[in-house]
Chain A
Amino acid sequence: MTKQVQQLDRVIIRFAGDSGDGMQLTGDRFTAGTAEFGNDLSTLPNFPAEIRAPAGTLPGVSSFQLHFADHDILTPGDAPNVLVAMNPAALKANLGDLPRGADIIVNTDEFTKRNLQKVGYETNPLEDDTLAEWRVHAVPLTSLTVKALEGFDLSKKDAERSKNMFALGLLSWLYHRPIEHTITFLQQKFAKKPEIAKANIAAFQAGWNYGETTESFSVSYEVKPARLAPGVYRNISGNQALAYGLIAASVQAKLPLFLGSYPITPASDILHELSKHKRFGVRTFQAEDEIAGVGAALGAAFGGALGVTTTSGPGVALKAETVGLGVTTELPLIIVDVQRAGPSTGMPTKTEQTDLLMAMYGRNGESPVPVVAPMSPSDCFDAAIEAARIAVKYRTPVMLLSDGYLANGSEPWRLPEISELPDISQAFTTEPNGEDGAFLPFKRDEETLARPWAIPGTAGLEHRIGGIEKADGTGNISYDPDNHDLMVRTRAAKIAGIDVPDLEVDDPDGDARVLVLGWGSTYGPIAAAVRRIRKSGGKVAQAHLRHLNPLPANTGEVLKGYDKVLLPEINLGQLALLLRARYLVDIISYNRVRGLPFKAEELAGVIQDVIDSD
């Protein structure tokens, strides 16, 4: 019997299971197949901070959401059309997000009395009417996997571990995903354990075949490739793109990259990634603590390296004093803050935009630093280069504000032409700049106000810098009141004068009265919401800030050009505070701090309310 094939324009799938069930891997592989197939896509991994929370419990649930479509999409999707629940905990934890009529594929083998009790199900939801609103596909995933692997020399426990591959096979059939890549992937991943490789491939294929033969699935779905701009694409996460951006920045700045870093969620993957690329001359230094990480980066910068430190909010707090030292010694330095839910330890694996004010002001003294924020996973590449450009050109620490959503989320990335990347190199100073061959380490470039960058090893330019206030020009220690006033103002003027592009506004008809403004990772959900409004005939303009300090010169003009400015932020209004103070514009804030990105539908509602209100 030939099964029916239904065409869809987009699908949102959420894989959910115990943190030991391999849901992130399953999601990654499904994503790779989807990318290869040519859909546009966006992903949202969501996992507990605990490496192995108690098995079968709600805190131990790990999930991976993937949105893919035949057109360009901007978010990992609001609500899943399909939930794959590997156990009762995964079902219970995710059911609330599931719209009526969605498909649920459950692993019935895990719905034992004990597992049900662990999550507070008094009766089996598969056997009562708990799930009546949804289309449930009850599949004994574990036992089918074990059965499929009977011929293998594997313990039952090892065989059971392949159940995620069975599920992947089933979903791959259901959505017509190509399978070759996954087979190659498994062969490579388990190259040293060929029996395990074969077993996983067998489980994967058994899942596929199960879909084809079982009556539980009468329909399969097709989502045609998306018509994206021509080019070569790959799927990339924010952390990986950021690491690549730093390497590209090092090449384009002609400076060796030095990373000083201390492991911290969700930034560690940047350290891991950069550690793999030593052939680019990348030095990665896993420091004894956050302070040493940034200290070593600043020391390397003094020696002529592109010094970088990567961390999350708690790490930025610890690095503050050293960043201040970078501000006053005017050395290039990049501080990557992959923001996470705070305060304190907060929720390490959850996302937030709550470090903006810390990035701006979290140091003693008048200590301005430029702040740059990427707006999507792949944009982390360009934002890293931009941060490096500013750091090197203006000899200043730069804060690069990513977040957990960008870091772990992924999307197709159209690879840039290397020849189109900007040349961000700046020559070191090698000649004296004062009278009689004197070198004045704080005599500035008249246009940029940047001081000379003369590195050790340069004869005749020996000089001392430090954290104590410096005399203008000579850099000698100075407690002179007027000099201090001058230096404070000069450092501020240097940062304020950084060349940043104007804020662009997307206002197709030019007659919108409401502007939605955003910064950082909220771009996707805001843009998706704006599309919805426009689709239903509403008028709304959108603008997104990449440079938070200094702000684009036209920002005030843009804000004042609209009757209302709505600013959604995953904080309690930090950018709104800055903009209100600076431009005296009555910004309308929309704030949620749930550790999760905004949903497009949610924002569309908020925008509509603002449009409708008078």
Chain B
Amino acid sequence: MTELLNGKGLSLVPKTDAKQTLKDFKSDQEVRWCPGCGDYAILAAVQSFLPELGLRRENIVFVSGIGCSSRFPYYLDTYGFHSIHGRAPAIATGLAASRPDLSVWVITGDGDALSIGGNHLIHALRRNVNLNILLFNNRIYGLTKGQYSPTSEVGKITKSTPMGSLDKPFNPISLALGAEASFVARTIDSDRKHLQSVLREATAHRGTSLVEIYQNCNIFNDNAFEPLKDPEVRDDITLRLEHGQPIVSASKAVVRGDDGRIAVVPRADVAAERILVHDAHSPDPSLAFALSRLDEPAFEHVPIGIFRQVDRPAYDVLMAEQLEEAVAQQGPGDLSDLLMGGDTWRIG
């Protein structure tokens, strides 16, 4: 299955023989995030990953919405479109659907993608347009200076919620799976190796890939993901999802209980064959969904990696096929024939 999926994501994007380096992807613009922001690490990871793809730089486009993360395109020397709040998936859909020769990336945040742009996100996912969506989740509104976001935990004290936020947050992975996403993954800003491994699979995927990136906002929501970074505990709580591999952390394992539900148990307590083996390619998303619910309420054990990766026709390819089919059936369009096509009559 992996073979089947591998490389297809960019098969229509022209490659270059020229050797590329990280430097080729740095624009001349000064990066202006707050010192210590997790966005720097993600930018550096992306810039150093892109040369690996070997694509012609001019065929890469980064589209973003509004928010701190959405400044991202300005810092990459590719084509870029910094658009308006929440609408990047819609704009990128039009671009990718009409230009299958482009590698189109969407850079968005938890407010941009899940609040104001929630509708566009879910519809992009179900359509499966060839997009890589990187959702920087810092669980806070940074650019507007610290209001709670749709991924903030209940009870979050912020400027707009002095007595605590009331609404239950979205789980972006669960949401994406519910929206029929064909590729859903989670990674973290501080683990460049893992982040890049996820990007590798995301770009190879033909269709929409959603990558949630836990990203630290050191100004308004510092240490939100600290347990995942703390050397003392991170290996115990991080469940690495790898297709075909048992789902385990250093000390825990995922098993399926007698009631059919999945559970996290001490690794020492179960025989190796009882440990659930990850199947990201299953047509049935229920395991992926169950895994996405494991970190509720928060950070007891957090699955990281690719939850789901299934092969499904991409929208842009299907759209292009319909155009080809129409030409095959009716011949190429002729304006004169079109205008004369109805009931006509001649005078004079």
Q: Which residues of B contact A (CB under 8 A)?
A: 14, 27, 29, 56-61, 63, 66, 73-74, 77-84, 87, 90-99, 101-102, 119-120, 122-123, 319, 322-323, 325-327, 329-333, 335-336, 338-340, 342-348
The residue in chain A whose Cβ has the minimal distance to the Cβ of B82 is A466
The answer, among A278, A295, A457, A461, for a CB contact under 8 Å with B91, is A295
Taken together as a complex, chains A and B put the C-alpha atoms of A84 and B57 apart, in Å, by 67
Contact A415 B83 (CB under 8 A): no
Do the beta carbons of A279 and B323 come within 8 Å of each other? Answer: yes
- Evaluate whether A283 and B345 lie within 8 angstroms (CB atoms) in the complex, with A299-B91, A477-B74 already known: no
Chain B residue with the shortest CB-CB distance to A460:
B58
Contact present for B58 and A462 (CB under 8 Å):
yes
Q: Would you list which residues of chain A between 151 and 203 have a CB under 8 Å from chain B? A: 181
Give CA–CA (A468, B61) in the complex, Å: 18
Task: Give per-residue flags for A411-430: 1 if the beta carbon is below 8 A from chain B beta carbons, else 0.
Answer: 00001101001000000000
Contact residue among B90, B323, B326 (Cβ-Cβ distance under 8 Å from A296): B90
Q: Which residues of A contact B94 (CB under 8 A)?
A: 258, 260, 285, 295-301, 303, 305, 307
Q: Are B336 and A459 in contact (CB under 8 A)?
A: no
User: What is the count of residue pairs linking A and B with beta-carbon distances less than 8 angstroms?
Assistant: 208
| CB-CB nearest 10 A-B residue pairs | A230-B348, A466-B82, A296-B94, A299-B94, A295-B90, A280-B333, A464-B80, A299-B91, A278-B326, A292-B90
Complex CA gap A235/B84 in Å reads 42
A235 touching B73 in the complex, CB below 8 Å, given contacts A283-B319, A303-B99: no
Does more than half of chain A's interface fall in helix, strand or loop, or is it mixed? Answer: mixed
Please determine whether B27 and A256 come into contact, CB atoms closer than 8 angstroms: no
Please tell me if the beta carbons of A277 and B344 are within 8 angstroms of each other in the complex. no
User: Are the CB atoms of B333 and A298 closer together than 8 Å?
Assistant: no
Q: Is A108 part of the contact surface with B, judged by Cβ < 8 Å?
A: no
Expressed in whole angstroms, the Cα–Cα distance for A337 and B309 within the complex equals 41
B333 to chain A, nearest CB (A): 3
Q: Does A586 contact B (CB under 8 A)?
A: no
Question: Cβ of A292 and Cβ of B120 under 8 Å apart?
Answer: yes
CB contact under 8 A between A458 and B58, given known A279-B327, A300-B97: yes
Chain B residues near A68: list those with CB within 8 A. none
A325 in contact with B84 (CB, 8 Å): yes
Interchain CA distance A248-B339 in the complex, whole Å: 10
Q: Is A321 an interface residue (CB 8 A)?
A: yes
Nearest B-chain residue to A298, judged by Cβ: B91
A283 and B81 contacting across the interface, CB-CB below 8 Å: no
Knowing A303-B102, A459-B56, say if A465 contacts B342 (CB, 8 Å). Answer: no
4 additional A-B pairs beyond A299-B91, A321-B87, A464-B74, beta carbons within 8 Å, are A232-B345, A291-B90, A462-B58, A464-B81
Bound-state Cα–Cα, A149 to B342, Å: 31
Which residues of chain A come closer than 8 Å to B63, judged between CB atoms?
299
B338 touches A277 (CB 8 A): yes
B102 near A415 (CB under 8 angstroms)? no
Q: Report whether B90 and A234 are in contact in the complex, using a CB–CB cutoff of 8 Å.
A: no
- 384-432 of chain A: CB within 8 A of chain B: 415-416, 418, 421
Q: Which of A35, A236, A291, A301 has the most CB of B within 10 A?
A: A291
Residues of A close to B95: CB separation below 8 A: 299-300, 302-303, 456
A472 within 8 A of B: no
Contact, CB under 8 Å: B97 / A234: no
**Subset of 7 A-B contacts with CB under 8 Å:** A234-B345, A235-B342, A251-B333, A277-B333, A279-B331, A301-B94, A463-B80
